[in-house]
Structure 1
């Protein structure tokens, strides 16, 4: 796939790949990523018309993905606002599938996968740069904190700032940073060239520092699980780094330590709020076990289960738990399909990691396992994959991992 984009047929795979580079770069910044994504889809459909369905590769988890798409579509039947749920379904699950299939199909070489990861990392650098600039403007940051109620001021009176950059709020940004850290750390471990290893170390350290500044406690715990994955799969000596946590907490008495230790306090209001939402969401699931309350309709239905929220006029978009949120939205069968698809990627990433001799693919495999683990752990106390940017980033990364597996599978079968 060489040569200028302008000298090739408009429907060439090269052009589709170029559009995918633009999509993954734009994901954390703007919803305009839909423009190159839709164009890539139209070009791919034209190629299917010319070459047949054999043009597309869907991946080894196609049954689970198709089952989730069907269940989430059928859940619209139960939505109080069916038009909204259908519209939301088209822009989220359907577009997940489009981006995923396009990457699995057209990221068909090591160079393309490498360039996709470079596009992700380039975007991550800009997210960090903008976020640091934003973080240093303390007056504007304090205004944002107060306007969005991102922290309990009575519990954390000295916490004036939280890093969030272009990702709408600190918790969404934290999940994005977790995903990027999972991969940058994995590539750092396997990189042999000194200059590239140094750059990856700087990138990983920058991501970790920015992650700390989000003050997202669930994300901090998830970061420890990334390290645990590295220790289990790469080198058990990495577990020694976990000893730094109590040392840092003992000697550093700043807001990071205060925020972290608050996890173990019975007085923490956000933890109590979550338990209340979880109980109410379980009631919601018991009332709609098969199809859920409708894709994206959680915020419309939840007030029926929480009188205080209804009286206060507060909007609750999700259950602050990934597992309960998915079940509430699409029902138990849909949730089974979703998590079959979600956790199924660990199996294929592990195969890529174990069987590949190429360190690039080993890093992809390890990074994918770490990212799935981190988001799964973070999902116990939050549901950040409801965000368009965060979820699209996640499924694009999973598609790169699946594409790597499909490529390795074809190589083994030759």
Structure 2
């Protein structure tokens, strides 16, 4: 437990140095303030309501630390925490039976296809670490499903995830109203949208990435508003969810907005159609914030004169050409392989491309037809397993969480039509987290 606290403190120090005070040399020695923050966090945890549970469950504490921290810390640090948690699981004998969990077969098949593509990649030295990271995230999925075996633990994990999304939203709102970093010219057509001076990105480096991270959080937050009984609880989660949704608006991500609408509608159909009223009120409030700009932004989705749309259309056409040449095994996992092939054989002067700006085209380019089929097997297996369990569940907490996890994943996948979600490894981990949350809720037996 103290090792986890020290790790949390160290990462807090690194985050404070890199995110809160970028460019400033306020923390030349990171370890000391990190350990101090870790000890303070441990002291606070002991006195909090969730403290006894987390301190008696080191696996749960480690899992919550990862869920809370991964949007804010470097990906290698997240991978290190996952491997540290794996050591704890193995030493305490809690990893037994992990390979018999749902989705292990399709996930293993998909990962084996990634390994195959990595060895035959055009850039194997770059592709193999990418595949290794996917395997580490799969281990996170296994540990999360093993650990989230009760309603109480799922509740804690969801609260921690919403806290993380809330903190991310606060960073975004700070950017929108206070720091106001200049918008990257590649993020917006200033000719069509001169009024967009800022697109918030939080600590995720890109507005579209941030939007995709926030969509499942809005759905889960709405589910918590619907599920909790006390007025104080409903007020708390409603306020938290509203701020997360506001940050999502200020990303100005059209794909994120459309994904949220679809996810909210699906959650309503899966859980309770009365939720449509709550969703409509929330969306109306969000729309009211920037009604003219939001309307014009959504109306521009099919406008080929808009620079973002025209650029994506060109990249998609180029991706189709790449797929026709590398349809079987792909060029190799990771954007380095994509760039290598694009720059050598398909590049048009003045047009750079790092990825296909579409999750499914990117998977086809990187891993070929069989890799995409493996991914579809995994995703369809998740929805098949979740929906079969959902229809037999009574109207209890775990049904709400399962419906929200399924709807959040649907929004995630819809967003993948307009963006290569896996360009950010933090969104790759979000994918495995949504899988773990949905499967964990589906495995619960009804509790009194």
TM-score greater than 0.5 by the shorter chain: yes
Q: C-alpha offsets along residues 44-66 of structure 1, whole Å, 9 cap, x if unaligned? A: 33345xx8x74425522111101
Q: Is the 8 A contact 2:208 2:253 kept in 1?
A: yes
Q: Which residue of 2 aligns with 1:26?
A: 69
In the alignment, the residues of structure 2 paired with residue 101 and residue 250 of structure 1 have an alpha-carbon distance, to the nearest angstrom, of 42
Deviation, structure 1 residue 193: 2.1
Could you tell me whether the CA contact under 8 Å between 2:119 and 2:128 is conserved in 1? no
Q: 1:90 aligns with which of 126, 129, 132?
A: 132
Contact 2:246 2:286 in 1 (8 A): no
Aligned to 1:164: 201
Alignment CA distance shift 1:347-1:187 (3 Å) = farther
Q: Distance in 2 between matches of 1:119 and 1:243?
A: 25
* Matching residue within 307, 329, 351 for 1:269: 307
Residue in structure 1 matched with residue 146 of structure 2 by the alignment: 105
Residue 90 of structure 2 is matched in structure 1 by 45
- Give how far 1:160 is off: 0.3
Q: SS state of the match for residue 300, structure 2? A: helix
Q: In the aligned structure 2, how far is the partner of 1:250 from the partner of 1:40?
A: 44
Distance 2:148 2:391 in 1: 21
1:394 CA drift (Å): 2.5
Give runs of ≥4 in structure 1 deviating > 4 Å. Answer: 237-253
Which of 355, 369, 393 is matched with 1:332 structurally?
369
Select 2:332's aligned residue among 274, 294, 304.
294
Distance in structure 1 (CA, Å) of the matches to 2:273 and 2:60: 38
The 1-side partners of 2:285 and 2:80 are apart by: 48
- Find the aligned partners of 1:255 and 1:333 in 2 and give their Cα distance: 42
Residue 173 of structure 2: aligned partner: 132
Residue deviations 1:206-233 (CA, integer Å, cap 9, x gap): 1221111110001111111022113322
CA distance in 2, matches of 1:58, 1:287: 38
Matched residues, number: 392
Change beyond 3 A, Cα 1:313–1:320: closer
The TM-score normalised by the length of structure 2 is 0.80
CA distance in 2, matches of 1:227, 1:134: 26
SS in 1 for 2:417: coil
Task: Could you tell me which runs of 5 or more consecutive residues in structure 1 were left unpaired when the two chains were aligned.
Answer: 7-11
Matched, 1:122 2:163: yes
Listed one character per residue, the Cα deviations across residues 105-135 of structure 1 (whole Å, up to 9, x for unaligned) are 1222222221111111111121111221122
Q: Distance in 1 between matches of 2:319 and 2:405?
A: 30
Q: TM-score, normalised by structure 1?
A: 0.86
Match in the other structure for 2:58: 15
The CA distance in 1 between the partners of 2:286 and 2:103, in whole Å, is 42
Cα distance, 1:253–1:354 mapped onto 2, change above 3 Å? closer
Which structure ranks higher in relative contact order (CA pairs < 8 Å, sequence separation ≥ 6)? 1
Distance 1:113 1:251 in 2: 33
Partners of 2:262 and 2:365 lie apart in 1 by 27
- Residue 364 of structure 1: which of 389, 401, 405 is its match? 401
Task: Confirm whether residue 59 of structure 1 aligns to residue 59 of structure 2.
Answer: no
Task: Provide structure 2 residue ranges, at least 5 long, that are not aligned to the other structure.
Answer: 6-41, 43-54
